[in-house]
Amino acid sequence: MLATVVIIFAFLNTTSGSKYIDTMIYEACCTCQNESFVTVDSRLDDVLRVLSQLSSSVTRVSNRQQELSIQLDSIAARMDSAVPSPDSDSDSAVGPPRQDGLLERLTEQHRDLVERLDGVAKQVGNLSASCSAERAEPRQLGSPCRQDADCATDVALSFCSEGVCVCSEGTSEDAGQCRRQSQISEPCERDADCAHHHALCAGGVCACGAGFGGDDCRPLVAAGTSCSADSECHPSRPVLSCLLGRCAEPFCELTAAGGRPVRLAGHSASPADCRAGRLVVTDAGRWWQLCDASPWTDADAAVACRELGFPIGSAVTDGRYGDGRTGPARVLSIRCSGAERTLSECPQRFVTNGASGGCPADSAPVTVECWDI
């Protein structure tokens, strides 16, 4: 046991033993600078736990030291009684060496170790107070950071990027906080509220900017682009289908009253779904986009659908089936009451024929959605 005591004191008072304690303090300091505060608290607890264990060990060693001291004193007393007196004729009777020097060294080392442990405890206490003071100041967007947890603790949906706290992808900064961005057709207040790069806030909802479409605002595909499947022609306005290896506007053909063929463009190429789209008429062997120079109304659309064989219908003015800005166009000014059987019975005025520019800016394509009862 005496040898064990000597080894413990010897180690803790050597350069290696001193570096062991210094390393614990250094790691805790680095932790305070480089890691999250939750981790700092955990590491400080580890240091304090080790110090507590060392203190307990020193206490046990001190108690054992006192026991050894008593035993050594007892041994020395017995040995003194066995040593011959100075008047003895025996010159060879020499008692064993006393252990006072060893006890003195152990006592001194014990005292030094206790003082060192007290100093370590004070350093750890100061470190904990310093970290607590730093933690009392919450981080903000733009504050320095070393890892994501430094930012997310105080600002939700943020992370550490290039040493500063910023909002994560899919969020935008709003009054110092990170707010989830809106998808297409979701409510918004400003362009920054919209998640996609080419989206903007229009009419209180997110929408794709000019030249982009689809749920993720991809560049629109132009008619005439090479393709091998319909998916390669999306997104587009109007919707394009892959027809004969090229992206083209789908259309279906109906027979209007009097046997005249009529096309509905921009919705579907399926005869079974031929009920909506822009009205395209034929004249002298040529197809013309029909345009209305006066506001296109539900009464006008009801007459057009009736002419196509549907009992009811409504006008479409939001361009969902295309804007009719390409190809030959015939511009009329149509004013139906809604009771007519065909558009030709409605009061109308011929305006102009356009060779290839589609409906002029001051007119709109005649567009309908028709239903069966």
How do the domains of the chain map onto residue ranges?
250-371
% of the chain beyond a pLDDT of 90: 22
Are the C-beta atoms of 198 and 192 separated by less than 8 Å?
A: no
Q: What is the pLDDT of residue 341?
A: 93
Q: How crowded is residue 162: how many other Cβ atoms within 10 Å of its Cβ?
A: 6
Residue 78 or residue 47, greater confidence: 78
Mean pLDDT in residue range 235-246: 72
CA distance 133 to 112: 32
Q: Are strands 158-161 and 164-167 parallel, antiparallel or unpaired?
A: antiparallel
Residue 11 or residue 286, greater confidence: 286
Tell whether the model's pLDDT for residue 354 goes beyond 90: no
Length of the chain: 373
Q: What is the pLDDT of residue 232?
A: 77
Tell whether the model's pLDDT for residue 164 goes beyond 80: yes
Tell whether the model's pLDDT for residue 322 goes beyond 90: no
Going by CATH, does the domain composed of 250-371 fall within 3.10.250.10?
Answer: yes
**DSSP bridge partners of 368:** 277, 315
Residue 127 or residue 4, greater confidence: 127
pLDDT in tens, 323-353: 887 778 999 999 999 999 999 999 999 888 8
pLDDT in tens, 249-279: 888 999 998 888 999 998 877 888 899 999 9
Q: What is the pLDDT of residue 136?
A: 53
What contacts 123, CB < 8 A, 6 or more positions away?
Answer: 25
Q: What is the pLDDT of residue 50?
A: 67
Are the C-beta atoms of 299 and 313 separated by less than 8 Å?
A: no
Tell whether the model's pLDDT for residue 291 goes beyond 70: yes
Q: pTM above 0.85?
A: no
Residue 133 or residue 93, greater confidence: 133
